[in-house]
Amino acid sequence: MSNGPWQPRGQGPRNPNPWGGGPAGGGHGGREPPDLEEILRRSQDRLRRVIPGGGGEGGGIGRLGAIGIAFLGLLAIAGWLLTGFYTVRPNEIGIERVFGRFAALTAPGLNWNWPYPVGRIDKPTIAVQTIEVGLRSDARGRGGVRDVREESLMLTGDENIVDVDFAVLWLVDARRPQDFVFNLREPAGTVKAVAESAMREVIGRREIQPILTGARLEIEREVQELMQKTLNGYGAGIIIQQVQMQKVDPPNEVINAFRDVQAARADQERMQNEAQTYANRMIPEARGEASRIIQRAEAERERMIADARGEAARFNSVLDEYSKAPDVTRQRLYLETIERIYGGMDKVIIDQGRQNGAQGVVPFLPLNEMIRPRAGTTEPGRR
């Protein structure tokens, strides 16, 4: 009877088939299982040949084998640790992970982190990138541009349709690159979706006329601010550097009608400018004429007030004299009035006291023209 597979050497014959059965036939279809003792022995022989000055059999071989295995393990660990060195380029930022969690940010240069699978390195590029919305440039650099109308057609606030092509310049935020790595799965697709949504919102709040003419800079600024606010809410770690509107036109189907409308509006503005110029010329003239009329009226008013005050003063002075000598004053007023009435006309005096057909007409007055003064004589009425 055999002593089994673990029988020491030199203590009887050893069964070449430790699992039972003869070398041919048996319960395993003629296949012998591996001899573990033989495998160990051959391994020790190889190790003895590799290590110079190896000892004899038994415990010496086992100790040497353990030392060799430990040495190989240390070499493997050292090689594994050496794979943890990595280089960060000047336009990159290193993001170290340990067991999948964010550990630290590293500057450009040579750095070290735990190798895979314990650690991992992400190196996002800090460079300006461009996202096009509404158009696609030729990737081969031939200068061709393909219009993507499902992205560029937008509805304005006055229910018109406008074709807007624009580009967005963005880059990774160097202060929070870990947000860019951990919070975004498809950065370019996210930026494009946010850009299209922001532009549609801004265009939807405006009428088409300012969009086609002079509101481009303001629209670009509003879209940039809205995109940055949205991405900050996502924690995307992205900076929107600029929004550039490249083409803003009506749809091709109605562009001719829009051009006619634009021409009519240009004529309207021209006529309004001409009317405003005429008004600017006529209004100051009218205001000047009105001012002159007002000044003349005020001067006439002052003159009439002054005359009235003079007449009142003269009347008061006459009244004072009249109160002192009523008869004399009354006679004087009568004579002055007669003089003022008859002073500038021809006069005929009829003497009603004559009788018997005598002529009672004094044909000519005033007497100062009928009686001319002689030299050396005194004029009538003067003494």
94-126 pLDDT, tens digit each? 888 899 888 888 888 888 888 888 888 888 888
- Taking the C-alpha atoms of residue 88 and residue 124, their distance in angstroms, rounded to an integer, is 10
Tell whether omega for the bond before 108 is within 30 degrees of 0, i.e. cis: no
Q: What is the mean pLDDT of residues 171-180?
A: 90
Q: What is the mean pLDDT of residues 343-371?
A: 60
Burial class (CB in 10 A: 0-12, 13-18, 19+), 279: exposed
Beta bridge partners of 119: 98
Report the SS3 class of residue 74.
Answer: helix
* pLDDT for res 31: 42
- Give yes or no for a contact between 166 and 217, defined as CB atoms under 8 angstroms apart: no
262 C-beta neighbours (distance < 10 Å), count: 14
356: left (phi over 0), alpha (psi -120 to 50) or beta: left
Q: Between 233 and 354, where is the model more confident?
A: 233
146 C-beta neighbours (distance < 10 Å), count: 9
Q: Quote the tokens at residue 205.
A: 């709040």
Of the ranges 39-53, 94-108, 270-284, which one carries the lowest mean pLDDT score?
39-53
Q: Quote the tokens at residue 331.
A: 């006679």
Q: What is the mean pLDDT of residues 196-214?
A: 90
Phi first, then psi, for residue 361 (nearest 5°) are -105, 125
* pLDDT for res 3: 43
- Taking the C-alpha atoms of residue 146 and residue 312, their distance in angstroms, rounded to an integer, is 97
Sequence-ordered alpha helix ranges (H) in 15-98: 36-50, 59-82
Is the pTM above the cut of 0.75? Answer: no
The gap between the terminal CA atoms of the chain, to the nearest Å, is 202
- Give yes or no for a contact between 5 and 15, defined as CB atoms under 8 angstroms apart: yes
Short-list 90, 205, 99, CA closest to 156: 205
- Taking the C-alpha atoms of residue 55 and residue 61, their distance in angstroms, rounded to an integer, is 6
**pLDDT tens-digit readout, 62-77:** 676 678 788 888 888 8
One-letter amino acid of 374: R
Phi first, then psi, for residue 242 (nearest 5°) are -165, 150
Looking at mean pLDDT, say which of 38-52, 101-115, 341-355 comes out highest: 101-115
- DSSP E strands: which ranges in 250-300? none
Q: Which residue has the tokens 């004072």?
A: 320
- Give yes or no for a contact between 189 and 238, defined as CB atoms under 8 angstroms apart: no
* pLDDT for res 114: 87
List CB contacts of 371: < 8 A, sequence separation 6 or more: 380
- Give yes or no for a contact between 203 and 210, defined as CB atoms under 8 angstroms apart: no
* pLDDT for res 369: 59
Report the SS3 class of residue 95.
Answer: strand
Q: What is the mean pLDDT of residues 140-153?
A: 78
Of the ranges 63-67, 156-160, 285-289, which one carries the lowest mean pLDDT score?
63-67
Of the ranges 9-18, 228-237, 281-290, which one carries the lowest mean pLDDT score?
9-18
Burial class (CB in 10 A: 0-12, 13-18, 19+), 177: buried
List CB contacts of 162: < 8 A, sequence separation 6 or more: 153, 154, 156, 203, 208, 211, 212, 248, 249, 250, 251
* pLDDT for res 52: 52
